[in-house]
Amino acid sequence: MSDAPRDPLAGLYQELILEHARRREGEGAIEPFDAERFLRNPTCGDEIRLRVRLDGDAVDALGWEGQGCSISQASASVLAEQAPGLSVAEARERIEAMRALLRSRGGVEAEEALLGDAVAFAGVARFPMRVKCAMLAWVALEEALTELDAR
């Protein structure tokens, strides 16, 4: 991070995050779909409805609708960009890596190779109150995959 001018938010709002929050990749309800999850963060009211469709053992498509802060919206957008084409196992691995990154309080180095653009959320780890915002879409996908596993 450069020393001047100091960003008081210490890299929380990376340009990539703000850009994704505006772009909203993957927004919309896909049809058909295999599983749907609706999640709400009761403390701040962020909400997401996420649908996923599988093709064999791979994520074929992911769509979401929701409202909330730029962190939650951007993280849904990044997820929607990354998930299609991943195998279910790869998607789970990536969700775990994202969780580790966000819970690290800035301690662990991001697994850049694995997370791609999602490393932009590294700054969120220093703002514990925002971790749930950044994880919302990812947890929705995780739960949707778990539901599909159980079928």
Partner 1 sequence: MTTTATTGLTEERVLQLRADFPILAEQPAGVPLVYLDSGATSQQPRQVLEAEWAFRTRRNAAVHRGAHTLAALATDDYEVARDRIARFVGARPTEISWAMNATDALNTVALSLAAANRAAVVDPRLRIREGDEILVTEAEHHANLLPWQRLADETGATLRWVEVDDDGVWTADAALAAITERTRVVAVAHVSNVTGLIAPVEQLVAAAHEAGALVVLDACQSVPHRPVDLHGLGVDAAAFSGHKMLGPGGIGVLYLAEALGAALPPARVGGSMITTVTMTEHEFLPAPQRFEAGTQPVSAIVGLAAAVDYLEGVGMSAIEAHEVALGERLALGTASIDGVRLVGPRPGEERAGLASVIVDGVHAHDVGQLLDAVGIAARVGHHCAQPLHRRLGVAATTRASTYLTTTEAEVDRFLDALSGVRAYFGAGR
Interface with partner 1 (CB under 8 A): 8-9, 12-13, 18, 21-22, 43-47, 67-71, 73, 127, 130, 133
Residue whose C-alpha is closest to residue 137's, from 55, 32, 25, 56: 25
Give the shortest CB-142-to-partner 1 separation in angstroms.
Answer: 22
Closer to partner 1 by Cβ: residue 73 or 82: 73
Give the shortest CB-44-to-partner 1 separation in angstroms.
Answer: 5
Q: Are the beta carbons of 75 and 101 closer than 8 angstroms?
A: no
φ, ψ at 6 (rounded to 5°): -65, 130
Angle at alpha carbon of residue 13, lines to 99 and 72, rounded to 5°: 50
Instruction: Report the distance separating Cα 71 and Cα 116, nearest Å.
Output: 16
Closer to partner 1 by Cβ: residue 33 or 127: 127
Closer to partner 1 by Cβ: residue 52 or 139: 139
Closer to partner 1 by Cβ: residue 17 or 35: 17
Give the shortest CB-70-to-partner 1 separation in angstroms.
Answer: 5
CB count in 10 Å sphere of residue 61: 19
Give the shortest CB-22-to-partner 1 separation in angstroms.
Answer: 7
